Homo-oligomer: A and B are copies of this chain.
Amino acid sequence: MRRMALRTAAAVSDTRAAVIGAAVRSASITGLEGLTIGTLADALEMRKSGLFGLFGSKQELQIATLEAGTALFLREVWAPVAGLEPGRERLLALCDRWLELFEGDQLPGGCLMTTAIVEFDARPGPVRTAVADVMQLWHELLAHEVRTAVDAGQLPAKTEPVDVAFQLNALASAASTSYHLTGKRDGLDQARRIMAALLSTADTSEGVRIPPVG
């Protein structure tokens, strides 16, 4: 009996993971509000009856999808650069991975977080809270990395870390939507060019800072 219960639990867990994977792809196109058991069952070539009961509510499915999207983002964008030296070079490498993710087939409709923000920014509730929490952490991570680059003398001393973080986010979102809206790479190329300029060492007219010792 116990073995069967375990098998059943494992099967449920596999199905849940498959559904969430399909939900991430689907939500990237039609949004978290566009998620339905019907379309997910179609995407997985499963019966709708097999999916009922896996999630207590649509909201639970939406939050699980957001969490899986965040995990995908960290795996594809952050993990590959996490081992590099913190600072300017790592930021540039991160921006490359970030824009590449929007071109790939894992998010066929582009940035899932941009979609979630636009859908829920004006609708208080658990989904908005989940989105806001992730975004705050991401902004802080970016600003911290910019600050590290400034402290190391890799970026001009007058750089405002929170403003650069805001710009990188704004540019990535705009690149994702531009790519899908126009079907052309221009927006991705523009974002990459502007990000590089933002993170360039060119504007050090106020003098090169000496990195702190120790």
**Size of chain A's interface in residues, with CB distance under 8 A?**
44
Copies of the protein in its oligomer: 2
Q: What is the bound-complex CA distance between A61 and B161, given in angstroms?
A: 43
Contact call B28/A182, Cβ cutoff below 8 A: no
- Binary contact readout A188-208 vs B (1 if CB under 8 angstroms, 0 otherwise): 001101100000000101000
CA distance A30 to B31 in the complex (A): 11
Q: Does A177 contact B (CB under 8 A)?
A: yes
Stretch at the interface among A14-22, A37-45, A164-172: A164-172
Cross-chain contact A31 with B33 (CB below 8 angstroms) = yes
The 8 listed contacts between A and B (C-beta, < 8 Å) are: A30-B33, A108-B122, A109-B123, A110-B122, A117-B177, A122-B180, A203-B203, A205-B205
Binding site for B on A (CB under 8 A): 28-31, 33-34, 108-110, 114-115, 117-123, 128, 131-132, 135-136, 162-163, 166-167, 169-171, 173-174, 177-178, 180-182, 187, 190-191, 193-194, 203, 205
